[in-house]
Amino acid sequence: MEIRPYKDEDLPAVIELWRVAFPDAPPWNEPAADIARNLEVQRELFLVAADGGEIVGTAVAGYDGHRGWVYYVAVDPGQRRRGIGTALMRRVERDLAGAGCPKLNLQVRGANREAVRFYESLGYVAEDRVSLGRRLEEPKMPERTPGNPVRSTGIHERIRRIARLIPSGRVATYGQIAAFAGGCTPRMVGYAMASVPSGSDVPWHRVMNSKGTISLRSGSDGHEAQRGMLESEGVALDERGRVDLERFAWTGPGLKQG
């Protein structure tokens, strides 16, 4: 297992992990938007645990010059009891101490006794404090978005308009959609697809990477859901999980399919 800084290509896997790990998160804690804000501030303190190329844990830390904080400590439910959470927290402590941070704080919902016991086992103690907060902006009630890392809602809508044109039984790559939409990159197409609201008419499952494979982690619920949707439309995946792009690739808006 490797603990390393977050990379842009980790976005879909991290979003999926957080939705599984934090099922009771308030609706305004939209993962894609929270990730975008963090990356604009202290990107180097956004850590992921990767095992065999799969994202199995995260921890997001911050330091304001007085004390440090840690958020979004998450471990894939199927990978727990392996020391991943402990390894993430020790890496956070080491990185913050190296930055001159004298103390680390964190908050846990009172009802989450399992999490409290975990942190107590690492030497953290409950302090006699009252947690106060005040929102400086009105919470945005999604649509499960804005999912845009750089205030690109207009771009995302253009990307989604193109994606809606992909017919059943065909697939397109992130690069193709970016070329058809114009003014964006394949990575931005990935962001737009990752933040498609549940129940949307955008066929996000028909958009794949340039290798013709599903970008979501193999074996994950999201990966299996996308594979099932593709196969139900007649799109075949081989034993390596690849789609034959020569056979199933969409030729683009207004062009005749082969």
Closest C-alpha to 79, from 56, 95, 110, 47: 56
Q: Is the pLDDT of residue 153 over 50?
A: no
Q: Is the pLDDT of residue 16 over 90?
A: no
Q: If phi over 0 gives left and psi between -120 and 50 gives alpha, with beta otherwise, what is residue 164?
A: alpha
What is the rounded average pLDDT of the residues 9-28? Answer: 82
Q: Is the pLDDT of residue 170 over 90?
A: yes
Question: Rounded CA gap, 14 and 48, in Å?
Answer: 8
Residues 21, 67, single domain; the answer is yes
The verdict on residue 202 lying in a domain is yes
The verdict on residue 101 lying in a domain is yes
Residues 19, 107, single domain; the answer is yes
Write down the pLDDT at residue 169.
95
Residues 53, 113, single domain; the answer is yes
Q: Is the pLDDT of residue 78 over 50?
A: yes
The verdict on residue 165 lying in a domain is yes
The verdict on residue 215 lying in a domain is yes
Residues 17, 101, single domain; the answer is yes
Task: Please state, in angstroms and as integers, the Cα–Cα distance from residue 187 to each residue in 157, 228, 243, following that order.
Answer: 15, 24, 20
Residue-range definition of the domain harbouring residue 180: 153-248
Question: Rounded CA gap, 85 and 119, in Å?
Answer: 10
Residues 79, 157, single domain; the answer is no
Closest C-alpha to 81, from 61, 113, 105, 57: 57
The verdict on residue 148 lying in a domain is no
The verdict on residue 127 lying in a domain is no
The verdict on residue 178 lying in a domain is yes
Question: Rounded CA gap, 25 and 142, in Å?
Answer: 13
Residues 198, 111, single domain; the answer is no
Residues 105, 176, single domain; the answer is no
Write down the pLDDT at residue 254.
57
Residues 73, 182, single domain; the answer is no
* CATH number of the domain bearing residue 12: 3.40.630.30
Q: Is the pLDDT of residue 143 over 70?
A: no
The verdict on residue 141 lying in a domain is no
Tally the domains of the chain.
2
Task: Please state, in angstroms and as integers, the Cα–Cα distance from residue 171 to each residue in 10, 192, 244, following that order.
Answer: 22, 16, 10
* Helix H or strand E segment including 226: helix 221-232
- 239, 180 Cβ separation under 8 angstroms: no
Q: Is the pLDDT of residue 65 over 90?
A: yes
* CATH number of the domain bearing residue 241: 1.10.10.10
20-58 per-position pLDDT tens digit: 888 777 766 778 878 888 888 889 999 999 998 899 999
181-239 per-position pLDDT tens digit: 887 788 778 878 887 877 889 999 999 999 999 988 788 888 899 999 999 999 999 98
Residues 95, 203, single domain; the answer is no
Question: Rounded CA gap, 166 and 252, in Å?
Answer: 8
Residues 6, 106, single domain; the answer is yes
Residues 201, 95, single domain; the answer is no
Q: Is the pLDDT of residue 152 over 50?
A: no
Write down the pLDDT at residue 142.
44
Task: Please tell me the pTM assigned to this model.
Answer: 0.56
Q: Is the pLDDT of residue 60 over 70?
A: yes
Residues 97, 179, single domain; the answer is no
